[in-house]
């Protein structure tokens, strides 16, 4: 089998890239280790930057998002019993779209399938060969048989645990990592959101977040110990702890109910440099991870897709290699800014085990500054709605 772009991984990065290339008449094959249902079972953040909204439009998959997604013009930040609002629309002229990553992925699968796009599920033993030559290929097993997919380029969209990043020789790659000493315990419940905007709360008992998927589906998180287990948290215990971390005004509006999903996620910052090796390009979680505070994971994956898609488009349409040659440099310049924002927002909002009284005063002073200073709010808003590509 032969294609122009072999895409490893059918998560949002791989599917969005495949769909954008398809719109430009560039052929790709997506190789996914799991099934569509498995991929759609993963629950992830649901805040889309304007750049991703535009890419969804360009990919022709934005109709349902525009119908069902919720436009948010600002967010609430709670600390020490107070709550203030950062207005994105007034400070930046932009807003964000609240629409679950699961729905983004579902729309992309539907579009790929409707267009007859090739997605091979349940692939095993994926090996990327000859990435540093002009004739790369991907070997894999599917249905018990060995296959070989020849291609011009390989897009490594296979997430943090994929094979693509490890294909770049170790002596050519540098990895930067920070693991945070806590996790997020999250639940999904069929209850109306506590507020029409998100609430990020820094409380003395730890961080809490009130988010949503739609008018009757809410997503809540509380900071927990890394050693905590989901089984140790009944729904009642979760709601009680959440209430202790929110200001009274929010608690008064909170509607609780049975959880329909409950999970614990670790928090990590990670970047791999470079993001390309010969004809192999890394996209999304394969190259970088952010802690979820600020919801930059999917959005940063989307900015990679933007640079790679435009580089490939230039190559095929104009014979211009500059976009693909500079892919890593361009993608990383933006990745590091998203890493900084996610790290900053995480550091501002969580309680750390070894935090001294001085550290706590610094956090409080920074929150007071953000609460009262228009320039500080503008800096946050610019990052939250998404930096330019």
Site residues for ligand PHB per CB under 6 A: 45-47, 198, 209, 211, 219, 292-295
- Joined tokens for residue 129: 């060969």
Closest CA to 308 of 287, 290, 336: 287
Active site residue 384: yes
* The only residue of 5, 6, 11, 377 in contact with ligand APR, by rule CB under 6 A: 11
Residue 8 binding partner per list ligand APR, ligand PHB, none, with a CB distance cut-off of 5 to 8 Å that depends on partner kind: ligand APR
Give the separation between CA 199 and CA 349, rounded to whole angstroms: 11
Binding flags for ligand APR, 142-161, as an x/- string (CB under 6 A): ---------------xxx-x
Catalytic, out of 99, 292, 309, 327: 292
Q: Is the dihedral of CA 363, 369, 374, 375 positive or negative?
A: negative
**Is position 166 annotated as part of the catalytic site?**
no
Q: Which does 254 bind (CB under 5 to 8 A by kind): ligand PHB, ligand APR, none?
A: none
- Tell me the two tokens of residue 173: 């790659």
Among 123, 138, 208, 335, binds ligand APR (CB under 6 A): 123
Phi-psi region of 25 (alpha: psi -120 to 50; beta: other; left: phi over 0): left
The binder of 126, among ligand APR, ligand PHB, none, by C-beta within 5 to 8 A per type, is ligand APR
Closest CA to 209 of 149, 249, 250: 250
Residue least distant from ligand PHB (Cβ): 211
206 binding ligand APR? (CB under 6 A): no
Pick the catalytic residue from 180, 200, 221, 327. 200
- 72 a catalytic residue: yes
Distance CA 202, CA 346 (A): 10
> Please, what is the end-to-end C-alpha distance for the chain in angstroms?
34
Q: Which does 151 bind (CB under 5 to 8 A by kind): ligand APR, ligand PHB, none?
A: none
Which of the choices ligand PHB, ligand APR, none does residue 92 contact, using the CB cut-off of 5 to 8 A by kind? Answer: none
Residue 62 Cα to chain centre, angstroms: 18
Distances in Å between the Cα of 280 and the Cα atoms of 61, 63, 141, 165, 283 are 26, 32, 20, 9, 10
* Cβ–Cβ < 8 Å for 121, 32: yes
> Closest distance between ligand APR and the C-beta of residue 105, in Å?
8
Q: Single out the catalytic residue among 22, 79, 296, 306.
A: 296
Active site positions, annotated: 72, 200, 292, 296, 384
In the complex, which residues of this chain contact ligand APR (CB under 6 A)? 8-14, 31-34, 39, 44, 101, 123, 126, 157-159, 161-163, 284-285, 297-298, 301
């Amino acid at each position: 089998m032969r294609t122009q772009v072999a895409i490893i991984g059918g998560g949002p990065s791989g599917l969005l890239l495949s769909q954008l290339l398809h719109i430009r008449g560039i052929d790709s094959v997506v190789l996914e280790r799991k099934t569509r249902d498995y991929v759609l079972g993963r629950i992830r953040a649901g805040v889309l930057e304007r750049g991703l909204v535009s890419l969804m439009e360009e990919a022709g998959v934005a109709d349902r998002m525009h119908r069902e997604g919720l436009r948010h013009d600002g967010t609430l930040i709670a600390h020490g019993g107070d709550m203030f609002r950062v207005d994105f629309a007034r400070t930046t002229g932009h807003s964000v779209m609240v629409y679950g990553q699961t729905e983004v992925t579902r729309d992309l699968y539907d579009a790929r399938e409707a267009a007859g796009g090739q997605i091979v599920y349940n692939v095993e033993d994926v090996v990327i060969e000859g990435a540093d030559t002009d004739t790369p290929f991907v070997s894999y097993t599917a249905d018990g048989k060995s296959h070989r997919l020849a291609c011009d380029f390989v897009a490594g969209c296979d997430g943090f645990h994929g094979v693509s990043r490890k294909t770049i020789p170790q002596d050519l790659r540098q990895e930067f990592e920070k693991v945070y000493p806590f996790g997020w315990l999250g639940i999904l419940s069929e209850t109306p959101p506590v507020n029409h905007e998100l609430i990020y709360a820094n409380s003395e008992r730890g961080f809490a977040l009130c988010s949503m998927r739609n008018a009757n589906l809410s997503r809540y998180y509380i900071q927990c110990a890394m050693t905590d287990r989901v089984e140790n948290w009944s729904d009642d215990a979760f709601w009680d702890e959440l209430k202790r971390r929110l200001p009274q005004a929010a608690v008064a509006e909170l509607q609780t109910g049975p959880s329909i999903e409950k999970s614990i996620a670790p928090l990590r910052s990670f970047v791999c440099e470079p993001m390309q090796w010969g004809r192999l390009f890394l996209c999304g979680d394969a190259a970088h991870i952010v802690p979820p505070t600020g919801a930059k994971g999917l959005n940063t994956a989307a900015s990679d897709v933007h640079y790679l898609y435009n580089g490939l488009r230039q190559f095929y349409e104009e014979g211009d290699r500059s976009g693909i040659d500079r892919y890593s440099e361009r993608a990383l310049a933006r990745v590091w800014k998203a890493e900084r924002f996610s790290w900053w927002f995480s550091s501002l909002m969580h309680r750390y085990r070894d935090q001294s009284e001085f550290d706590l005063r610094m956090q409080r002073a920074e929150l007071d500054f953000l609460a009262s200073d228009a320039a500080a709010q503008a800096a946050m808003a610019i990052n939250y709605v998404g930096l330019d590509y």
